[in-house]
Amino acid sequence: MVKQCAAAAVPLVLLLLGTGSSDAFTSSPVAHTSKQHRHSTLTMVATPEAPQVSSAAPLTMDEYSKYVQTTYGRYPLTIVRGKGCHLVDKDGKEYLDMVAGISTCALGHADPELTSAVSAQMSRMHHISNLYYIPEQGRLAKWLVENSCADRVFFCNSGAEANEAQIKLARKYAHTVLGLDLPVIITARQSFHGRTLATVTATGQPKYQKDFGPLPSGFEYVTYNDIDDLRATVKRINGRAKLRALLGLPKRGVAGILMEALQGEGGIVPATREFFAAVREICNETGALMMCDEVQTGMGRTGTIWGFENLGVEPDTFSSAKALGAGVPIGAMMCKAKCDVFKPGDHASTFGGNPLACAAGLVIANRISSGGLLTNVKARGEQLRAGLDRLLAKYPDHLKSKRGWGLINGLVIKDEVELLAGQVVAAATDGGLLLVPAGLKVVRYVPPLTVSEAEIDDALAKTDVAIAAAIARLREGAAK
Ligand SMILES: *[C@@H]1O[C@H](CO)[C@@H](O)[C@H](O)[C@H]1NC(C)=O
């Protein structure tokens, strides 16, 4: 079903498969070697510029599709190496990377410090299980606690797993502390929390849930940034407690309210301070936990270490992943002492917080604490948004607005025009700039946090060319 022969096919691919997943954008295979040839070819020049990446040529797109399940709408691109904010495809074409593995490679590609820390850890000890004390895990947990409102940390491998852990923690807290039989977690429409059954249910977007029922119960949705809707929903769930008790019905109530400080996949929509203040207030009033999903916004992305810091409140629990390992898989769920209810055996993760992943986490933690990373995020974010304002002025018929914090920003296309984010992204890719849509109408910028002033200027210049090209393509299409 996927046409992969031309970049122009990309918007179609994204329309068919959906663009909003935290994982819809990936590199892909283009090559022309037979299976036999692939196995017999040992190539690669090992220079510092082009380290050996593989002993075999990449599979062709057809071969790739034969073996890999089609869960992603892939761009027709095979990336083979990178350095900083630059990536190189198999044909040697360079790309400026404003995607960073979807907000993940916070230190860019082939960062020397990350490379040496992970290599050193690999040669010392990379995995031993959580049957034993792990020095690197302890140090990373200490940093996370000292640099957030949390008191303790649970480690896992991904954002979905970290959110799953928050959900389980909130449910156990509800059963054991709040005395609820039927705990409910409230999330927002247009949110994105992951792909496991519980997190995809928490995700307030039916398109991700379709065909996966029966979904776990105990989730309700409100409109993001709508305080009245939230209050009414909480009241409805917690209401009639006395009547229910009288009738001997199980005790139902709100266990937690799970929100992103800024909705990433939902179109780069920041929460309002008023909304987060209301969430905090309602949680205090009812005893429910305030839960934050910091998977895309955490670890410096927004200019502060955690996204919720922009909103002036402290949650009771929150998750982290993506940038936490700067591209090495790791996730974490953090909580305040009052809801630290997990006991041995309650929850676990084989790979969670292993020495290799935590060594990577410690590199970015150290760069945030002493490397001026957040200063760069703030300055480059302002520079980018000023440049997006110039583009808004230049294309007033097509562009609507820009949104974002720090280095997570979206350029919003007008609803009433035909132009789609995927079309701008496809044109940008042709012009050597990698971007990723966040929904149908938002072009997302989530570059490495190390991005330079010159690279932001270059990204803006390339975006300008891409918008003009995408508009021209639409006109050509209409003229035919
Ligand atoms: C909520 O409770 C916490 C902990 O007791 C407190 O620090 C905070 O000020 C309260 N916030 C509101 C809005 O009531």
Query: Domains of the chain by range and CATH?
Result: 20-66+76-110+373-479 (3.90.1150.10), 114-370 (3.40.640.10)
Order of all β-strands in the sheet with 399-405: 399-405, 408-413, 442-445, 436-437
Q: Is 336 in the pocket of ligand 1 (CB under 6 A)?
A: no
pLDDT (tens digit per residue) in 213-270? 999 999 999 999 999 999 999 999 999 888 889 999 999 999 999 999 999 999 999 9
What is the distance in A from the centroid of ligand 1 to the CA of 319?
20
pLDDT (tens digit per residue) in 270-283? 999 999 999 999 99
- Residue with the smallest CA separation from ligand 1 atom 4 is 284
**Residues 44, 36: Cα–Cα separation, whole Å:** 18
The whole-model pTM stands at 0.89
Q: Is 314 in the pocket of ligand 1 (CB under 6 A)?
A: no
Residue 54: pLDDT band by 50, 70, 90 thresholds?
low
High-pLDDT (> 90) share of the chain, % = 83
Of 307, 327, 290, 324, the residue nearest 153 (C-alpha): 324
Please report where in the chains the tokens 């071969």 appear, as a residue.
63
- Residue with the smallest CA separation from ligand 1 atom 10 is 284
Alpha carbon of residue 272 to chain centroid = 20
Q: What pLDDT is attached to residue 9? A: 38
Q: What pLDDT is attached to residue 276? A: 98
Residue 39: what residue type? H
What is the distance in A from the centroid of ligand 1 to the CA of 285?
9
What is the distance in A from the centroid of ligand 1 to the CA of 277?
10
Please report where in the chains the tokens 């810091």 appear, as a residue.
309
What is the distance in A from the centroid of ligand 1 to the CA of 149?
13
* 391-403 average pLDDT score: 98
pLDDT (tens digit per residue) in 73-131? 889 999 999 999 999 999 999 999 999 999 999 999 999 999 999 999 999 999 999 99
Q: Is 70 in the pocket of ligand 1 (CB under 6 A)?
A: no
Of 231, 283, 284, the residue with max ligand 1 atoms within 8 A of its CB, to mutate for a pocket test, comes to 284
Alpha carbon of residue 58 to chain centroid = 27
Order of all β-strands in the sheet with 182-188: 152-156, 331-335, 317-320, 289-293, 252-260, 182-188, 219-222
- Closest-lying ligand 1 atom to the alpha carbon of residue 281: 13
Radius of gyration of the chain (CA): 23
pLDDT (tens digit per residue) in 443-452? 999 999 999 9
Q: What is the DSSP letter of 176?
A: I
> In a 3-state reduction of DSSP, which class is residue 320?
strand
What is the distance in A from the centroid of ligand 1 to the CA of 317?
14
Q: Is 226 in the pocket of ligand 1 (CB under 6 A)?
A: no
Residue 138: what residue type? G
High-pLDDT (> 70) share of the chain, % = 89
Of 163, 100, 82, the residue nearest 451 (C-alpha): 100
Q: How far apart are the first and last CA of the chain?
A: 24
- Residue with the smallest CA separation from ligand 1 atom 13 is 281
Q: Is 281 in the pocket of ligand 1 (CB under 6 A)?
A: yes
**Residues 145, 239: Cα–Cα separation, whole Å:** 36
Of 149, 257, 280, 314, the residue with max ligand 1 atoms within 8 A of its CB, to mutate for a pocket test, comes to 280
Whole-number average pLDDT of the chain: 90
Half-sphere exposure of 28 (CA within 13 A, CB side): 27
Q: How would you class 379 by CB atoms within 10 Å of its CB: exposed for 0-12, middle for 13-18, buried for 19 or more?
A: middle
Q: Is 116 in the pocket of ligand 1 (CB under 6 A)?
A: no
Q: What pLDDT is attached to residue 5? A: 36
Alpha carbon of residue 27 to chain centroid = 17
Q: Is 458 in the pocket of ligand 1 (CB under 6 A)?
A: no
Provide DSSP, 213-262: PSPPS-EEEE-TT-HHHHHHHHHHHHTTHHHHHHTTPPPEEEEEEEEESE
Of 148, 4, 113, 15, the residue nearest 68 (C-alpha): 4
- Residue with the smallest CA separation from ligand 1 atom 12 is 281
What is the distance in A from the centroid of ligand 1 to the CA of 378?
29
Q: What pLDDT is attached to residue 219? A: 98
